[in-house]
Amino acid sequence: MKVGLVFGVSELASPEAFREEAANFVRVLEQDFDVVGGEIIQSRSDFRKLKEKINFNDVDALVLFPLTGGTEGFLKEFSVFRRPTVFYGNPFNNSLAAAIELREYFRDRLIPSTVVKSSEELKAALLAYDDMKDVLDRFLRARIGLIGRVSPWLINEKLDIPYTHISLKKFYEYYEKTTAEEGWEAVKEIVENAEEIKEPDRESLAKAGRVYVAIKRILEDYHLKGFTVGCFDLIGKIGTTPCLALAMFNAQGIPAACEGELNALIGMMIIRKFFDEPAFMGNLADFDENHVVIAHCTAPLVSKYVLRTHFESGRGVGVAVEFPPGKATLFKIRGRHAVVAGVEVEGNEFLESRCRTQVRLKLEDAPEFVDGTLGNHHLLAYVDPEELSDLLSELGFEVMLY
């Protein structure tokens, strides 16, 4: 196992006073692991120089040892590598205090992190990360993108992880290079397999297909494995929505979220990466004592579907998907927190006053769940709730299982 090691010393302290302690620490760690680095740094400038010298992207885990307090500001920069991280702290010179502060910073960025204070604990933590290497790599190394902006009504949206931002201006450049013929060819099979086409005409369908083609080319050019798009901004500019494109991508195994929500995208990525299933992102539309209803205008094409317009605008192409009955999981991620509930898909509703796909879920004590959840958008997936809860915990989330 290749382990990246870095020591931190405050600018107010002399690194010479810690050379022997650092050298001894390296010798102990080298008995069990392939150690990379081992330098003492004191500033962001030192971090930048070390970053040029050593590629920490190649290590399996990081060990950061703040030998003193006052090191948090530059040691936190190692979060950019998104590697499982163990913080070593001792009872002297505010070392442990700095380690705990740093751990929370990394966890807020969804990087699995822990604090230890002995060589035995350190070895155990690193070996645990090594056992989970494949799981963690699939989660930590996926490239995701945001097209446009986070929708302004998502007032609880906050996610401090790296992503590629593609401006709407850039999206429009890709869109303008598509043709109506390309758009129609992209959706032709989807149209042929629809149970019914209610409002959209061929021009609307071709335009929705052009959105799909433009996004597909963006994913290829930017090497993205999943994305979210600020969808409502497209309506005024090009007169359509990406609802159909998102439904197609999710059916093809590419996680695709709407309204620019990154938290929902992370949840979709987890479901796809670890369970090879799509996830439906929906609004909480209604609830009673033992049921909730979630609804949205895009959903993975997992079963029979009808092509309609987007509900709020009456434009574009939305989808009304009939979700099959069965056991499933309803969950919500916000930052490093998650709520998970086992549900049963009972059927679909078809009210004209809601988004097009409407799924009715049996959920015991639904009012309690609604009272304790983390915001509006939830994800529905046909996976076991306890398995998902355990996985999220392993990935560093704080999980409430209902």
Q: Where are the domains of the chain?
A: 2-139, 142-401
What are φ and ψ of residue 363, in 5° steps? -145, 115
- pTM value > 0.95: no
CA distance 112 to 93: 25
CATH code, residues 2-139: 3.40.50.10940
> Burial code of 361-381, b = ≥16 C-beta within 10 A, e = fewer?
bbbeebeebeeebbbbbbbbb
**DSSP-H helix ranges across 114-162:** 119-131, 133-140
Rounded to whole angstroms, what are the CA distances from 112 to 84, 100, 105, 257? 5, 13, 11, 24
The pLDDT score that the predictor gives to residue 168 is 95
What are φ and ψ of residue 182, in 5° steps? -60, -40
CA distance 193 to 306: 9
DSSP character at residue 62: E
Q: CA nearest 368: which of 272, 304, 288?
A: 288
CA distance 161 to 152: 19
With a cut of 70, which residues of the chain have pLDDT below it? none
On whether the CB atoms of residues 398 and 337 are closer than 8 A, the answer is yes
Q: In what order do the strands lie in the sheet with 318-321?
A: 196-197, 305-308, 318-321
CA distance 398 to 392: 8
The pLDDT score that the predictor gives to residue 158 is 80
Q: State which H helix or E strand residue 170 sits in.
A: helix 168-176
CA distance 23 to 277: 48
Q: Tell the residue number behind the tokens 């021009």, with chain if given.
A: 203
Q: What is the DSSP string of 213-252?
A: HHHHHHHHHHT-SEEEE-THHHHHHHS--SHHHHHHHHHT
The pLDDT score that the predictor gives to residue 135 is 85
Provide the 3-class DSSP secondary structure of residue 364. coil
CA distance 335 to 104: 12
The pLDDT score that the predictor gives to residue 271 is 97
On whether the CB atoms of residues 79 and 109 are closer than 8 A, the answer is yes
The pLDDT score that the predictor gives to residue 302 is 87
